[in-house]
Every structure is written in structure tokens, then in C-alpha cells.
Amino acid sequence: MPGAVLAPRNMYWALRKWLLDFAKPRGLAVEFYDNASIDDLAAKARAVKPRGIWIETPANPTWEVTDIAAASAIAREVGAVIGIDSTVATPLLTPRSSSAPRS
């Protein structure tokens, strides 16, 4: 069973198209969250219980910023794998230490 994935409403168009036109017809449930709101991500994650959460920060093309540590905590809470598209930031501007949980 493919399960569900949670993805940002504003995101790189090619992946959004792949999710909707390729993955969804093959059984993956795809839900979108408002990537200007970490609260919406949390609410959708608790409701949908996705197997995967995808974030993109800053998000192409509208540059919404998602809190990586907060989103990772939500993913841990609901038992989802989290993936981060860091195309815009590159590893130079968002080092891996950014994703470490804050105390």
C-alpha cells in the first residue's frame, strides 16, 4: 500500500505534477498543506498520518520558508519520513545542523 504523502501547496511544479499525474493515479494519496503555516502542516499531518512529509524551503517559486526543525518534530510525532528540497538554499545556505532539533 503506497499510503499518503503530505506536500506543500506551493512547490517545485515538476514534483507537484509528478505527484498528481503519476503517483496519485497509481494509488498514492496526496495531500497539500499551506507552506506559509507550520500549524497547517501539523494539523494535516495529524489528520492524514502520512508516510512521508515533503518540505521545500525556501519554496520555488514563492519563497515561503518552512521551519525544518519544527517540521521534523511533526514528522517524528506522526511517524513519517521527512524529505527536504533544498534547491533554492543549497547546502551552503542551509547546513545540515539547521535540521537538528532545538531544545
Q: How far is the CB of 101 from another protein (least distance, A)?
A: 11
**How far from 54 is each of 36, 45, 95, 103, CA to CA, in Å?**
14, 11, 18, 23
Among 48, 68, 74, 80, binds another protein (CB under 8 A): 68
Find the binding residues for another protein in span 30-59 (CB under 8 A): 36, 57-58
**Contact between 79 and another protein per CB under 8 A:** no
Among 24, 34, 67, 78, binds another protein (CB under 8 A): 67
Q: How many CB atoms lie within 10 A of CB 99?
A: 14
Nearer to another protein, 47 or 101 (CB): 101
Q: How far is the CB of 36 from another protein (least distance, A)?
A: 6
Check if the beta carbon of residue 93 is closer than 8 Å to that of residue 78: no
- Binding region for another protein (CB under 8 A): 36, 57-58, 62-69, 81, 83-96, 98-99
